[in-house]
Amino acid sequence: MEFQSFFMGGFESSTHVRRDGRRLDLIQSTRHDLFALDDYRLLRSAGIDVARDGVRWHLIETSPGRYQFDTAKAQIAAMQESGIEVIWDLLHFGWPDHVDPFSADFPERLGAFAYQFAECLRDDGVRSVAVCPVNEISFLSFAGGQAGFFNPFAHDRGDDLKRQLVRGALSASRAVRAVHPNARLVHTDPIIHVTAHPRRPEQHDAAEAHRQAQYASWDRIAGRVEPELGGAPEFLDVLGVNYYVHNQWVYPGGHGSLISPSDPRHRPLQHMLLEVWERYRRPLFIAETGIENAERPSWLAYVGHEARAAMRMGADLHGICIYPIVNHPGWDDDRHCHNGLWDYADDRGHREPYVPLLDELRRQQELVARMRVEPADAVHDDAPPLEELDEIARSIAEVTETSREG
């Protein structure tokens, strides 16, 4: 399989409900709903021909069984006019108020929504379809079912929610392929590295079990474990691995547990990518990666370097998605997050680029292009100094922990 371009842009499409009852809608708050065509053209201008985008279930099925796709059709039309290839998120952390993710009918409800959207794509003339049924099952089941800092704000029910989300993802996968038999099914989850503290060797097994849990949803989708959920190898089609600077920590986590990029215990991303490839032997891509502020170019340089190293070692890696591709308001505090390639849109849809990141993207694109035509061992570039990422990593980890304690 090949995407239209190696580098991709992801539009933040979270729609979850916060603790205070406010529902987020990042597609609306970034004005991507108004300027989808302009945004897709921006991608094309930067040599990016693939986007991750989302449809907003809560706006489409406002009452049970009644579907209105007006909010999605502008994005579909923009995709067709621009020529962008879109991977559609069907559930990105949010669902309608009348849907209970713990209810017995949840998988059927998500499957019905997926079927209706697949028909909408078909009716609008879309023939090449790629969907992500449920974004980040592992994270959502932990955050919303185990630790309770995310909707549905449950505690000690992480495995229950994970099984429900897997059932829902499988139901949606079957529904989409009933309409589009050749649809690509993309399943995204964070990849992590967790280790025990050297002074607490008795926690080694628990830390390793926590690390291995990153594979639980993919194993279930593939039917490797708990086949009664309905998983099968054909459903584990394309793997999207999400990786950020705070994805490595010392067990059991919490304040001060981050493994900084320059720490000797830090595991190189290339080895993490290779492990995923060797475990599943399915095509994969980095579905989310990014960082805030002035470190954005250095982070992309690091991820690009590690991706090419993994490819040289044999990983079937097909892309890197800069995520988010446009700046957005913070989930909890509406702060202006400077984490994208482009900034907020003005009333005409214009977005200012972050030029240092755009320059680094062009350098990375050239390195990937060279790698495809020159001998693999002929294209080498030095990784950026990891020390320069340590401070921003610690800052992000602190903000994340504070937000979770809320």
Q: What phi and psi values does residue 239 have, to the nearest 5 degrees?
A: -100, 130
- CA 87, 93, 97, 98 dihedral sign is positive
Of 119, 15, 7, which Cα lies nearest the Cα of 331? 15
How far apart CA 195 and CA 201 sit, in angstroms, is 10
| Domains detected in the chain | 7-405 (3.20.20.80)
At residue 314, does pLDDT exceed 90?
Answer: yes
More confident residue, 254 or 284: 284
pLDDT digits 0-9 by tens, 222-238: 999 999 999 999 999 99
For residue 40, the model assigns a pLDDT of: 98
pLDDT digits 0-9 by tens, 163-187: 999 999 999 999 999 999 999 999 9
pLDDT digits 0-9 by tens, 63-122: 999 999 999 999 999 999 999 999 999 999 999 999 999 999 999 999 999 999 999 999
At residue 377, does pLDDT exceed 70?
Answer: no
pTM: 0.97
* Angle in degrees, 0-180, between the axes of helices 36-45 and 70-82, rounded to the nearest 10: 30
- Residue 306 belongs to what H/E stretch? helix 296-312
- Rounded to whole angstroms, the maximal C-alpha distance in the chain is 61
DSSP characters over 199-242: T-GGGHHHHHHHHHGGGHHHHHHTTSS-GGG---GGG--EEEEE
Residue 137 is classified by DSSP as: H
Pick left, alpha or beta for residue 108 (phi over 0 → left; psi -120 to 50 → alpha; otherwise beta). alpha
For residue 375, the model assigns a pLDDT of: 67
395 band by pLDDT with thresholds 50, 70 and 90:
confident
Joined tokens for residue 162 = 């994970």
How far apart CA 246 and CA 281 sit, in angstroms, is 26
Mean pLDDT of the chain: 95
- CA 353, 355, 360, 366 dihedral sign is positive
How far apart CA 261 and CA 268 sit, in angstroms, is 9
How far apart CA 158 and CA 152 sit, in angstroms, is 11
At residue 401, does pLDDT exceed 90?
Answer: no
Burial 362-393 (b: 16+ CB within 10 A, else e): eebbebbeebeeeeeeebeeeebebeebbebb
User: Do 111 and 169 form a contact (C-beta atoms < 8 A)?
Assistant: no
Mean local confidence (pLDDT), 188-199: 97
